[in-house]
Chain A
């Protein structure tokens, strides 16, 4: 449009430290939100496990929260919590609840009944059964939730930049790129967030593989039989 190249390599090379900083900030925001969401949801899932009737109300509320438009929620919090990290983290955290609670509950429910009966019959205390049997067996679904939550949160952090320049992460590149008609910044922001999402996903896949050697054994034996 104004003759500028789509990718200004000189700018990229000169702003590597900027990119590293904003990537780290992006990751930091997403990380806090996912971690907080994980902890809150875990407590909720344990409560549901004990009192199954809570499942409806809890997922209902989490579902309503999930439907609130992101920008609106950020804006609504600014008068209360100001332009702080908290303003960014609260909505991000709330958006993860639905994903986490549903998958964690599904994870507990996926533990075969006969396994639980055998554990009870052999004299596991409820706490020990949860730690040694139910949690390890719920890992695949819990990790699935972590992957979904982290990828969606990394995407959501992009819009945090719209409420302030101090903690926008990679979204700032895009905001600035649009404001100054500088495509390079837009591409840098988009590509880096994409890479971040892919990497986060890959890390969790790796963690799941490391934690669930038995699932791999099954896949191998199935392939072996075929």
Chain B
């Protein structure tokens, strides 16, 4: 329980043998949940993912007791939620739903300050908090505060929904397909922004989606659920992709799981290769001797180590000096935060399948090739071994719960891709 700042950080969320049974399977009955146990460490995002009827939303709603569990316990920081006053419990948990559920008769400012109002904050403090939160989710308070929800676009409403859930700074947030009602481009942006926010906020988040790609992108931990409310696999996304626990998980994550894993790793995590370099004005003959058979090119860089272009070994003169016009700039440039998936895609598209990794100022750090990425992909397969009888061993968290890997995945997942 580190109190690194005044902000309320996350709390540990633990589900212990939680079961929800329904007598009928009438239309509209939520999915049942069967003996679900998992623990989400403080400050992590745990994504519940699975087909409809797998009980993921039911599981989420049992945490804030919109649905009461038939048996089992749910603990927030060790305290059984069943022992707490339900209204007070809910006011302390952020709640975001797909259709947002903004109050149409209240302004955006009022909507954001709903929970503070329930908690009895004075009006001035509520107003300040609403402005702060609108700012946080990227909506100009002056423009949006006095508007009504009907005057906002879908993406803007989703942002307001997130702001509202954060209003009283709850340690735990429940998000039920929070970005499900917007188009893919807006969704991608909202996801990235939310991950960036979460880097600072460090809330403990339970996140429901039916989209495996979203689960992999958003989750520090992913719980794959099967119809009937069974937990099929629980672990960091890299592990789910590398070693699906069974056929169901393998089918659910898809045949392209190898490619999907690439989106979890960043160029910065590769051991970058070096390559012979020279600067304009250097002696050509000396530079020519540094070229290896491995990569028959010479990379020309300027005085600040910024890449200028490649010179084919055949085109390097045997005497005289190197000049800029001998080189062709034909490699994609990456920063360390680019995902391996994006990098591979650009490399396959370029003339030489070699990319140059540069730092923030544009100076060269090393090179990356498509082969290196393919190698990384192969080596990852062996990182996580499949346990033949995982469920019997794991006391909490199900198959292959590995906090160390979760940490790593968290660091990688929170940075936005792209140069």
Contacts and interface: CB of A to CB of B under 8 A. Distances in A.
B87 interface: yes
B99 A114 contact: yes
Interface string A110-147: 00101111111111110010000100110000000000
Contact of B97 (A114, A128, A213, A220): A114
Contact of A217 (B100, B103, B114, B150): B150
Contacts, number: 76
A221 interface: yes
Contacts of A213: 148
A184 B121 CA distance: 64
B88 A221 contact: no
B90 to A, nearest CB: 4
A218 interface: yes
B118 A124 contact: yes
19 contacts: A112-B104, A114-B100, A115-B103, A115-B104, A116-B101, A117-B101, A119-B101, A121-B93, A122-B90, A122-B164, A123-B87, A123-B92, A136-B105, A137-B103, A212-B105, A217-B151, A218-B148, A220-B151, A221-B150
Interface of B: 64, 66, 87-93, 95, 97-106, 114-115, 118, 147-151, 164, 174
B89 to A, nearest CB: 8
B149 to A, nearest CB: 8
Nearest to B118: A123
B107 to A, nearest CB: 8
A181 interface: no
Nearest to B174: A121
A214 B100 CA distance: 17
Chain A interface main SS type: helix
A122 B117 CA distance: 11
B167 to A, nearest CB: 9
Contact of B100 (A118, A120, A125, A128): A118
A175 B164 CA distance: 62
A121 B90 contact: yes
Contact of B104 (A119, A120, A124, A137): A137
B97 A122 contact: no
Contacts of B90: 120-123
A213 B146 CA distance: 11
Given A114-B99, A124-B118, A133-B103, A214 B88 contact: no
A121 B150 contact: no
Contacts of B102: 115, 118
Given A118-B102, A121-B90, A212-B105, A217 B97 contact: no
Given A114-B100, A115-B103, A115-B104, 10 more contacts: A114-B98, A115-B101, A118-B103, A121-B97, A123-B90, A124-B118, A137-B104, A137-B105, A214-B106, A218-B148
Contacts of A122: 90-91, 95, 114-115, 118, 164
Nearest to B146: A217
B101 A218 contact: no
A221 B151 CA distance: 6
Nearest first, the 9 closest Cβ-Cβ pairs linking A and B are A118-B101, A123-B90, A123-B91, A114-B99, A121-B95, A218-B150, A114-B101, A217-B148, A214-B148
Interface in A200-226: 212-214, 217-218, 220-221
Contacts of B64: 121
Contacts of B114: 122
B100 A218 contact: no
A125 B87 contact: yes
A124 B95 CA distance: 13
Contacts of B89: 123
B31 to A, nearest CB: 16
Nearest to B92: A123
B205 to A, nearest CB: 15
Contacts of A128: 118
B105 A214 contact: yes
Contacts of B174: 121
A213 B151 CA distance: 12
Nearest to A211: B105
Contacts of A220: 151
